[in-house]
A and B are shown apart, each in its own frame.
Chain A
Amino acid sequence: MREFTLSGVIALAVAIKTKPTHSKKIPPSSIEGNLPMNESVASEFIESGFFRNFTIEGQQLPQAKASWISQREKKVGSQKADKLIKFANENNIHMPQEQKNAIWQNLVECMTNTHNHAKGKDGNPSGDGDTEQWVAGVMCREGEAQFTFIDMGVGICKSVQATNYMTMIKNTISGYGPDKLVRDAFDGKIGSSTGRPGRGLGLPRMRRDAQFGYLQNLKIRTGKVEGDIAKMQYRKVKESFNGTIISWSASTNEE
C-alpha cells in the first residue's frame, strides 16, 4: 500500500482548497515559479492533476495519474459524503459495504464536529452564530483512494480543552500537552467542551474504525499536534494549524 505522508496530505488539502476552475471559455493560464522543494509534495500536486489547466513553460509535466473531486459546505451534507464514496467506486476503488459505511459515517461525524466546533460554546441547536466551512475530497489512483477532510474551524484542541481555570493550571504543571489532549479525545476519555451528555463519541468511533482497518493509514493534523490515530501515537509539532486535517486511505478489495 502506498504510504501517504502528512506533507502529502497537506499538499492535497491545499490542492482541494485552491483547485483551479476549469472553463472551456477561458484559455489555460500561464504561471511562473517553482514546484515545491519537497519532492513528495511536488509529486502530489502534479499527480493529482492540479496543474492540468495550466501550461508551464519549458517543463514537461507528467500526466495526472489521479482523479479527484471535492465537496464543501457549512452544514452537514450526508449526500455530499455519499458523492465522494460513489466517486471512489466509479474510479474502480471497490470497497466492502462495511468499509463504505464506516467512511460515510465518519465523514458525516467530521462535518458535525466542524459545525459544533465553529459554534465554540455549546453547539446549542437553537443557538446562532457563524459556522465554519468544511472541505472534503477524495483522490483516486492506482487502486487506492485517499480521503481528506479539512475542518476550517477552531480545531480539536481548542474545542475540547479545559475551560476551567484551575484545570488549565493543573494541566500546565503536569505537562498535559495538546498531544495528550488529542490522544484522550480519540480514546473517549474526554467529552466535548459542551459538557452535555452523549457527546464526544465521534472521535473514539473514528479510532475504532481505523483499528478495524476500515480507515487505513488514518492521520491527523490539528493545532500543534500530528498523529497516527490507529496506533494512537501523537506528537507536538512546532507550527500550528488552525483547524483540523484528517486523512485516510481505502484500497480496492481484492477478495
Chain B
Amino acid sequence: MKLKVMDKLKSLPGPRYKNQGPGSGEEFRGNVLLPAFDDAVEHGEKLIIDMDGAPYGYPTSFLEETFGGLVRLRDSKQVKEHIDIQCTDEPLLVEEIAHYIEFGASEKTPPYEPAEQNT
C-alpha cells in the first residue's frame, strides 16, 4: 500500500493542530494516515509513505504531530513494523521521522540532531 502525502494535503504542510491553520499534522494523521495505517495492519501489509513533492519540506510540529502522534495512538512496535517512510527530495527526513516515532510515546522528545546537514 502506498500513500503519497502531498497528494492528500490540500495545501502546503502546516502547523501541529487543526485549529492552528490549514494543512495540520493533526488533520492529516486523523483523516489520512490513521485509516491507511489501520488498513495496512489489518491486511498484514506495509504502508509505504512517500514524502516527496513538498515545495519547502515539512515543519517540525507537523512531522511530530503526524508520526509521534501516531505512536501515541497505536502500538509503537506495530508502527515500526507496518510503515516505511520514503523521501528522495530530502533523505534525512526519513531519519528525522524515525526519531519522532522512536520518542513519540516518551514523556519528553529530544530534539532531532542530524550528524550532518543535508546539503
- Residues in A lying within 8 Å of B, measured CB to CB: 75-79, 81-82, 85, 96, 98, 100-101, 104-105, 108-109, 111-112, 115-116, 123, 125-127, 188, 191, 197-199, 201-202, 204-205, 208, 212
B30 CB to closest chain A CB (Å) equals 10
> What 3 A-B pairs come out closest when comparing CB atoms?
A76-B21, A204-B111, A188-B111
Cβ-defined partner of B12 (8 Å) among A82, A191, A197:
A82
**Contacts A78-B23, A123-B17, A198-B69; is A112 near B59 (CB within 8 Å)?**
yes
With the chains together, A204 CA to B109 CA distance in Å? Answer: 12
Cβ-defined partner of A104 (8 Å) among B26, B56, B69, B72:
B56
Beta-carbon contacts of B84-119 to A below 8 Å, as 1s and 0s?
000000100000000010011111111111000111
Residues of A within 8 Å of B72, CB to CB, are 197-198
Residues of B within 8 Å of A208, CB to CB, are 111, 113
Contact of B108 with A197 in the complex, beta carbons under 8 Å: yes
Q: Interface stretch among B32-40, B43-51, B60-68, B74-82?
A: B60-68
Question: Which secondary structure dominates chain A's binding surface?
Answer: helix
With the chains together, A101 CA to B107 CA distance in Å? Answer: 29
With the chains together, A81 CA to B56 CA distance in Å? Answer: 10
With the chains together, A208 CA to B59 CA distance in Å? Answer: 14
Contacts A78-B12, A78-B22 supplied; 19 other A-B pairs, CB < 8 Å: A75-B20, A75-B21, A78-B15, A78-B23, A82-B55, A98-B118, A101-B56, A105-B56, A108-B14, A112-B20, A115-B21, A126-B19, A127-B19, A188-B110, A197-B68, A197-B105, A201-B64, A202-B59, A202-B61
Contact of A105 with B119 in the complex, beta carbons under 8 Å: no
B107 CB to closest chain A CB (Å) equals 6
Residues of A within 8 Å of B107, CB to CB, are 197
Cβ-defined partner of B60 (8 Å) among A79, A105, A127:
A105
- Tell me, yes or no, whether B11 is within 8 Å of chain A by CB: yes
Cβ-defined partner of B11 (8 Å) among A78, A112, A202:
A78
A131 CB to closest chain B CB (Å) equals 8
**Chain A residue with the shortest CB-CB distance to B57:** A101
**Chain A residue with the shortest CB-CB distance to B110:** A188
Contact of A108 with B104 in the complex, beta carbons under 8 Å: no
- Tell me, yes or no, whether B18 is within 8 Å of chain A by CB: yes
Contact of B60 with A197 in the complex, beta carbons under 8 Å: no
Cβ-defined partner of B17 (8 Å) among A82, A96, A125, A191:
A125
Residues of A within 8 Å of B104, CB to CB, are 197-198
Residues of B within 8 Å of A75, CB to CB, are 20-21
B16 CB to closest chain A CB (Å) equals 6
Contact of A198 with B17 in the complex, beta carbons under 8 Å: no
With the chains together, A77 CA to B15 CA distance in Å? Answer: 9
Residues of B within 8 Å of A76, CB to CB, are 14-15, 20-21
With the chains together, A199 CA to B108 CA distance in Å? Answer: 8
